[in-house]
Amino acid sequence: MGYYTKYELEYKAEVLIEETIKEKIHSDEVMRYAIEEQQETKWYSWEKDMIKFSLQFPDVLFTLWGNGEENEDMWVAYFKNGKSQVRKATISFVAFSEKDLE
């Protein structure tokens, strides 16, 4: 079975570097399926893989968005030159206000 997550990758790079990035993503079966085809998938090693991937393009900031099967499983991860930062979404509601009743 397993746990499925939908991934979206963002980055900005010079045209030549961007083409190389696209080629490398396309040549990796898991990354291609998760990122290019934007299919929900079981990519358990995404953080390790993206750290390694970012080392190939040290000046590029990669932003990977994840949305898991569970409602509260949303996060964003940043990768640059082999370093990473992961932030989980915080869901909150505005407090009730009687004046806002319609």
Q: How confident is the model over 47-84, as pLDDT tens digits?
A: 999 999 999 999 999 999 999 999 899 999 999 999 99
Distance CA 44, CA 25 (A): 17
What percent of the chain is modeled with pLDDT above 70?
A: 100
pLDDT attached to residue 1: 73
* β-strands 83-88, 74-80 pairing: antiparallel
Domain boundaries, the chain: 5-100
Alpha-helix residue ranges (DSSP H) falling in 6-91: 15-27, 29-31, 46-55
Distance CA 22, CA 20 (A): 5
Cα dist. 36→1, 16, 61, 73, 80 in Å?
Answer: 23, 18, 18, 21, 20
